[in-house]
Amino acid sequence: MMDFRSELYFRTQRSSGAGGQNVNKVETSVTVLWNVGESQFFTPESKDLILSKLKNRINSQGILQITASESRTQIQNKKKAIERILELVEKSLEVQKPRKATRPSKAKIEKRIQSKKRLSEKKENRRFRL
């Protein structure tokens, strides 16, 4: 995994929610920003893969943005945001191997047909006859 931490930009803001005075006066929430298109660490193919897989998280300027505000300290939130963005990019670069189409075995087909016959017979036996 390429370490592109040097390309990350950080923005802080006050966290929302409970926390008393700490929330009102300390900027503990951290937003990490990364411009995917201007990255020097990834090939154009990798960038295309990242852009396509993370298109719902990337804004119109091509910036991937993650916010962390769980912790009471800015440093911990910064670490969490970095971990999340690195993990997200790493997962987006994984290429799934294509699924090979397979047929059910003859035994499975036969088993399915037999169970359908049994069910049909059971229902047939329930019918009212005169």
Domains of the chain: 5-92 (3.30.160.20)
Distance separating alpha carbons of residues 3 and 96, to the nearest angstrom: 22
DSSP of 51-63: HHHTTTTB-TTSE
93-109 residue pLDDT tens: 888 899 999 999 999 99
10-60 residue pLDDT tens: 998 887 766 667 767 788 889 999 999 888 888 999 899 999 999 999 998
Q: Are 34 and 7 in contact (CB under 8 A)?
A: yes
DSSP 8-state secondary structure symbol assigned to residue 38: T
